[in-house]
Amino acid sequence: MPEQSRYRQAFFDLWSRVYDAPPVQWAIYRPVHGAVLEELRALQARRVLDVGCGTGILTARIGSDIGGLVCGCDLSRGMLEQATHRRFGPWVQADASSLPVRSGSVDAVVSTEAFHWFADHDVALREFHRALVPGGRMLVAFVNPSSQGPARAARAWSSMAGQSAYWPTRREMRARVEAAGFRVCTQRRVIRIFGVAFPTVLTVAERLER
């Protein structure tokens, strides 16, 4: 495993100890999970892969609310150890650049508040495309700054903190998604605490044939 990935895994192993705390969930994750579930219900997806699943809260909600087969994968062993106590699974340790599924095997790929941590966004998007059936949907939700200035500042700050991350703007995210072989269906704002300064956007896209 590359050195940067090892550091990132260790960081999230520590973060897993407070990830499930109700204040953290209500402030950061629950509004985003609700928006993703709303889209999945409309799609009636039966096979769902949750990439960067953390402790599996959204994965379990998908399994409970929508049914079908849902799999959660995350780089952090600590996160997955928490997830194994949940009813749904399976749970797989994997990187977004090499998803643990066959090509064309899932109806929907979801990722919430994790995409900015992926080492290579374009590789991850191509992996999402590979995993999906033709016409399948990708649902990615995370902070999309309004302009390049805040995006660059956020990346510089995260690098100084020792965990380099990148939050593309909404326009840049659309361009990257389309370049990976998707048609963007919608990009909508998710309202949550701190959402004015750091707007979370849910991008929903359909996998096209190549």
What CATH number labels 3-207? 3.40.50.150
> What's the per-residue H, E or C state across the chain?
CCHHHHHHHHHHHHHCCCCCCHHHHHHHHHHHHHHHHHHHHHHCCCEEEEECCCCCHHHHHHHHHCCCEEEEEECCHHHHHHHCCCCCCCEEECCCCCCCCCCCCEEEEEEECCHHHCCCHHHHHHHHHHHEEEEEEEEEEEECCCCHHHHHHHHHHHHHCCCCCCCCCHHHHHHHHHHCCEEEEEEEEECCCCCCCCCEEEEEEEECCC
Q: What is the pLDDT along the chain (210 residues), one digit of tens a residue?
A: 555 555 455 555 554 555 555 555 555 678 899 999 999 999 989 999 999 999 999 999 999 999 889 999 999 988 899 899 888 889 999 999 999 999 999 999 999 989 998 989 999 999 999 999 999 999 999 999 887 766 666 555 555 445 567 889 999 999 999 999 999 999 999 987 665 567 899 999 999 987
